[in-house]
Amino acid sequence: MSASQYKHPDYYLVDELLTEEHKIIRDSVRDWVNREVKPIIEEANQKHQAPMHLMKMMGEIGVFGPFIPQEYGGAGLDYISYGLIMQELERGDSAVRSTASVQTSLVMYPIYAFGSEEQKKKYLPKLAKADLIGCFGLTEPNHGSDPGSMKTNFVDKGDHFLLNGSKMWITNSTIADIAIVWAKDEEGIVRGLIVEKGMPGFTAPETHGKWSLRASVTGELVFDDVKVPKENLMPKTKGLKSPLMCLNSARYGIAWGVIGAACECYDTALRYSLERKQFDRFIGSFQLQQKKLAEMITEITKAQLLAWRLGVLKNEGKETAFHVSMAKRNNVKMALDIARESRQVLGAMGITSDFPIMRHMMNLESVITYEGTHDVHLLITGHDITGIPAYK
């Protein structure tokens, strides 16, 4: 039951490809976003404040770790469900979706995939309920697209590891109780450590002045001789492949998530075009505006089909990182283009916070950069089809 005006575009009846359960999941998250996110998000964005009260609620509704098995506090749902959840959260705001992506794919997933049984039992149920908030530290000040060259490292001191280095652009860094930190061991192999808030030598200063994802906190992680207990090393992490597997899961969610942002912008522009009159006609009756709207729905439809197919492949265990790169890149660009075009349909109104478009547009500038930039994903596809990596 939602009183929202939003009408979800489904031009190719993609709904028919979903199960009844998928639709209940999607509609539940949509209702939750209408009730809890939409009324507060413009102000949170304007004030550059993360709506912290949503964390617990997200834990209760179960959008953290939906594909993690129930025994560890997840819901044990499939990947299309995860995608639909991300889509609906991002229709609300990319910052809200980012929090869920980080908590699910970048914190819970690595603990589930690479952690010891004790680590899984200790952290996963609390992360699912938002009793603990996590962050993921891979990017460094001097190593973004090339994380393999990272400098953060740890040495074995017998009864503990000594961690040094710093991470930058870390979503939820200041509010996180635990950080999944990627660092090199003495042999130069990338491993994952669970660093807890309050460990001496560990600080997390905030990055101020963002014009994007303003309803989420971004910051640094600084490690100055941090003694990390040995049991906090995730035993099955080995090499850069481990964090890349996490990114792959998060990127999958982004490929779905941005469809939500795009649909919200398109829906807003379509409705506006049929209400606003100039020269005595609805602006939606002018060919130029129709071209914009028609192209938007075409691109949304293509993105929906791409995401759905990727979801099926992922459910069947057949998806590759290359598939995910293509969908992340295509869909984020699609959403950003739609945000820009739909903003123009609204004229001056489009720049205000009375409408969600400009906020989505600013958010999507981060989304097109994080989790592998638009350029780098193209090079990944290039690598896959030619066999030659152009980025190295």
Partner 1 sequence: MKILVCISDVPDTTTKIKFAGNKELDKAGIQWIINPWDELSLTRAIELKEAHPDKIENITVINVGTTASEPTIRKALAMGADNAIRVDSEPKEAYFVAAQLAEVIKSKQFDIVFTGLDSADYNGSTVGGMLAELLDMTSVSAVSGINIEDGKVIVSREIDGGTQKLDVQTPFIAVVQKGIAIDPRIPAMRGIMMARTKPLEVVAPANIDNLTEIVEYEMPQPKGKCRKFTEENVNELVDVLHKEAKLI
Ligand X SMILES: Cc1cc2nc3c(=O)[nH]c(=O)nc-3n(C[C@H](O)[C@H](O)[C@H](O)COP(=O)(O)OP(=O)(O)OC[C@H]3O[C@@H](n4cnc5c(N)ncnc54)[C@H](O)[C@@H]3O)c2cc1C
- The residues that are catalytic are 371
Q: How near is the Cβ of 331 to partner 1 at its closest, in Å?
A: 23
How is residue 153 annotated by DSSP?
E
**Alpha-helix residue ranges (DSSP H) falling in 221-373:** 241-273, 287-315, 321-345, 357-367
Give the helix/strand (H/E) hosting 169. Answer: strand 160-171
Residue 363 binds which of partner 1, ligand X, none (CB < 5-8 A, kind-dependent): none
Residues facing residue 26 across a β-bridge: none
Q: Which is nearer to ligand X, 145 or 285 (CB)?
A: 145
Q: Which spans of this chain sit near partner 1 (rule: CB under 8 A)?
A: 1, 20-21, 23-25, 28, 31-32, 35, 60-63, 66, 70, 75-77, 81, 85
The residue among 208, 165, 213, 170 whose CA lies nearest residue 190 is 165
Among ligand X, partner 1, none, partner that 23 touches (CB below 5 to 8 angstroms by kind) = partner 1
Q: Pick between residue 20 and residue 118 the one whose CB is nearest to partner 1.
A: 20
Give the CB-nearest residue to ligand X. 144
Binding site for ligand X (CB under 6 A): 102, 135-139, 144-145, 169-171, 213, 218, 366, 369-371, 373, 375-376, 379, 391
Burial of 118 (0-12, 13-18, 19+ CB in 10 A): exposed
The closest of 366, 364, 368, 386 to 328, measured between CA atoms, is 368
- In the three-class reduction of DSSP (H, G, I as helix; E, B as strand; rest coil), residue 293 is classed as helix
Most distant CA pair in the chain: distance in Å?
Answer: 79
Neighbouring CB atoms inside 10 A of 198's CB total 7
Q: Which two tokens stand for residue 76?
A: 């044990």
* From the list partner 1, ligand X, none, partner contacted by residue 28 (C-beta under 5 to 8 A by kind): partner 1
Q: Which residue lies nearer to ligand X by CB, 213 or 228?
A: 213
**Beta partners for residue 178, in sequence order:** 134, 196
Q: Which does 342 bind (CB under 5 to 8 A by kind): partner 1, ligand X, none?
A: none
Shortest Å, Cβ 380 to partner 1: 31
In the complex with partner 1, which residue's Cβ is closer, 32 or 202? 32
Write down the least CB distance from residue 373 to ligand X, Å. 3
Quick one: 174 or 342, whose CB is closer to ligand X?
174
**138: which DSSP letter?**
-
Which of partner 1, ligand X, none does residue 375 bind to, with CB < 5 to 8 Å depending on kind?
ligand X
